[in-house]
Every structure is written in structure tokens, then in C-alpha cells.
Structure 1
Amino acid sequence: MMSQDLNPRSAPPRSANAVDDELILDAARDLMSTIGIRRTTMADVARTAQVSRATLYRRYPNVQALAAAVTTREFVAALATVGLFDGATGRETVTRTVVHVTSSARAHPLLRRIIELDPEFLLPYLLHRTGRTSRAQLEALTAGIASGQADGSIRQGDARELAAVVLQAAWSSTFTGPVFTESTELLDAQLFDLLDRYLAP
């Protein structure tokens, strides 16, 4: 497939030791958010990040690995934007955090482009296996739920099992919620209510 020449006058590639991995992930994110995953090539990413293809391949074996690394990084970034909820119980903290990250994911340009152009990229993670992003989400939720159980605001039970149900609800709100309504406020309110009732003692 012909690569997309989006940066024809780029500077010479940097040496391998001088490359910041964030520059590679930024380049991959920008390309994938613009032209989709399938149309993005390793040559595109190398050119946009101004690195050699050899340097790129030493870090990532293919576009799919790059896409997985980008989505994981974007999730971590969304999580980092969650503020502190002073005086909140564990249940409220978990619920508000999940709603915030879910709402951010629905509006994220990369996810919107994946759903529009490359939905098959998501299918293995929805139907067959967990990826790094979902495992990171599950670990964060498990820790938050355990904290809520400790303060009595979340019902008892296996914290990881409860976290898995919460994550499934969040994914449903992210991917299928917009099919049923265009109101982000309604989706956020419904998800908050659903999770709050599910986690309550």
C-alpha cells in the first residue's frame, strides 16, 4: 500500500539514541487520527517522527503494536486528567473517575477515527482477549474498588470481578452509547447512576 506523504520536507532522521519515544507515539497518534490505522504505514510514522525506519522497527514490530501503545498512552493521559475528589467516598471516586474517562474516550479523535474507519482493530479486544489498555483499566478499577470496600461505600465481593463488570459497562457506554443517543450528558448521567447502584452496599 502506498504510504501517505504528509510531511515531504521533513528533516533528516535522528539517530536512534536521540529519539524520544513520545515523538514516535505522537506521530503515530496524529497519523492514525487523520487517515486511520489501515492507511498508516511504518514509513509514514518514521517520516513524520523524523526517525529512520530501522529505529522505528527496533521499538515497534508493526503498525498494530504502535496502535496498541498509542491507545494505552492515551488512556493513561485521560486518567491523569481526573481531579481529586475531596471528601468523596471510594464508590463516588470510582464512579466519577470511570464516567470522566469514558466520556473522554467517546470524544477522543483517535477512537472516533478507529470506529469510523478501522472497527476491526477493536474486535479482538472486545470479543477474544484483553489488551494492555484493558488490563491497565482493570487493575486501576480493582484498586479503586478495594479502597471503596475498605471504607464501606462499596459492597463486598471479589474486587476484580466487580471491576470487570464496571469495565464492561464503561465499554458499552463508550462504543454503543452514541448509537442510541447523541446526548453526552445523558450517557454520562446514566452510566454514573448505573455504576453507583451496582457498587452500593
Structure 2
Amino acid sequence: MTSLRNNPSDDARDAYLDAARACILDVGWRRTTLTEVARRAGVSRMTIYRSWSDMQTLLGDLMTREWTGVVQAALADQDPARSAVDRLVAGIVGTVRVLRDNELFVRIIELDPELVLPYVLHRRGRSQDLILALTDEAIRAAQASGEVRAGSSVAIARGLLLAAHGFVLSAHTMVDDEVTEPELDAELAALLTRSLAP
């Protein structure tokens, strides 16, 4: 359910979210205000307030848009000739890679990591639900063709997402002179492939 009560046009909505994104990249979420978002977007404060009652709601919409774009970018070049498991694994590892390098995600983790904690410790967000729905659909299709092991597609999708969380949030803590980020991504791919195999 969207928080945009007055349903501004998609272009206007994107312009407001772009302004919020620019503010967060410049000064972080804690120092970004709806007033500053309005100023950057070139609209009145009330225009922004009619769409979002507070920064938390605006941030939710911004993160949903951003992370949906990350998933779409990771899935854009899927080769339909590859096996279902290869496509699933490539999509998940690609999403992890793109998200880990996403400038908004990196900025939030650097300046305001507590913003991510609710989505790790307390509840799923809209973008997580989107990722789960896409993964569940792909798993069910692959199960029907015998390419993915039997079991609850919902539970399998959630297990894969939980595994991916660590590679997004904590991979940097495991990179040093002995192990590179690409090596960790290869390990994630191996874990996922073995988890999905019939």
C-alpha cells in the first residue's frame, strides 16, 4: 500500500524521491528534513507533507523504489537458456552485488545503519516482500520442471533471502588479504546452488 495519499503523477513522485535521495547522499537521513526535500524538489513544504507525513514514511517509499530498481537491474540480463537454478543463483548473487555497491545503501550503512535494523530484526519491508514473491515464483516454476528440490517454496525463498542478508550486510567484515569479495560471492553461489539442487 502506498503512502502517497494525493497520488501525484509518477514524474512528480520520482522528482520528490530524487530530491530526498540527493539530501540523504549529501547529509544523511538524520539531517534530512521534509522541508529540505521540498526545497530541493522546488515545491512547497505542504506539497511534500501532503504526500508524506514524516521522513520515515518517505524513506520507506524511497527504499522500496531504490531496492526494486536494484532487483530489476540484477535480473535484466538473465539468459533464458540457462538452467532455472543458474538463473535463480545468478539473480540472487547479482542482487547482492548491486545492492552492496548501491550508493544510497552504502551511505545509509555508513551514516545511519540503524535504519536497516528494523528490516533485519523486526519485520520485512515492501522490497523484501517483492524479492520473496519473485523468488517464490521462480522456485515453484523450477520445482514443477524438477530442477529445484521439493519443499515449501515460501520457506526455501525465505531461507535464501536470509542467507543473502549476511552477504549484503557483513561481507566487508570477511574481506581481507586472504579472501576477496568475488571469492565470497562465489561461495554464496555455491551455497545457493547446493541448497536448491534436487
Residue equivalent to 1:4: none
Structure 2 unaligned residues grouped into runs of 5+: 1-7
Judge conservation of contact 1:90–1:151 (CA < 8 Å) in 2: no
Instruction: Compute the TM-score of the two structures, normalised by the length of structure 1.
Output: 0.87
- The answer to whether residue 138 in structure 2 is matched with residue 141 in structure 1 is no
Write the letter of the residue equivalent to 1:104.
V
Deviations 1:129-180 (A, max 9, x none): 1111111111111111112112211101110100000001111100011111
The answer to whether 1:50 aligns with 2:42 is yes
Structure 1 residue 86 corresponds to structure 2 residue 83: no
Distance of 2:52 and 2:89 partners within structure 1: 35
Tell me if 1:75 matches 2:67: yes
Pairing 1:120–2:114 present: yes
Q: Which residue type is aligned with residue 200 of structure 1? A: A
Partner in structure 1 of residue 4 of structure 2: none
Equivalent position SS for 1:20: helix
What amino acid sits opposite 2:182 in the alignment?
Answer: E
Alignment correspondent of 2:197: 200
Return the letter of the residue paired with 2:37.
V
Task: Say whether the 8 Å CA contact 2:96–2:164 is kept in structure 1.
Answer: yes
Change (3 A) 1:17 1:89: closer
> Could you tell me how far apart the structure 2 residues matched to 1:143 and 1:122 are?
26
- The alpha carbon displacement at 1:18 in A equals 9.9
Check 1:139–1:37 CA distance in 2 against 1; reply closer, same or farther (3 A cut). same
> Aligned equivalents of 2:143 and 2:9: distance in 1?
46
Counterpart-to-counterpart distance in 2, 1:152 and 1:28 = 45
The CA RMSD over aligned residues, in Å, is: 1.6
Out of 75-84 and 160-169, give the one that drifted further.
Answer: 75-84
Structure 2 residue aligned with 1:172, among 166, 172, 180?
166
Aligned to 2:28, which of 28, 36, 43? 36
Question: In 2, are the aligned partners of 1:19 and 1:51 still within 8 Å (CA)?
Answer: no
AA paired with 2:132? L
The separation in 1 between residues aligned to 2:173 and 2:15, in whole angstroms, is: 34
Equivalenced residues, count: 186
1:19 CA displacement: 6.3
Taking the aligned partners of 1:18 and 1:172, their CA distance within structure 2 comes to 34
The residue type paired with residue 42 of structure 2 is: Q
CA contact (8 A) 1:90 1:149 kept: no
Q: Distance in 2 between matches of 1:63 and 1:100?
A: 30
1:60 matched to which residue of 2?
A: 52
The answer on 1:187 being equivalent to 2:184 is yes
CA deviations on 1:87-140 (whole Å, 9 max, x unpaired) are: 112211111001111100101111111111111111111111111111111111
Change (3 A) 1:26 1:84: same
Percentage of identical aligned residues: 35
Structure 1: gaps spanning 5 or more residues:
1-15
Distance in 1 between the 2:16 and 2:22 partners?
Answer: 10
1:150 aligned to 2:144? yes
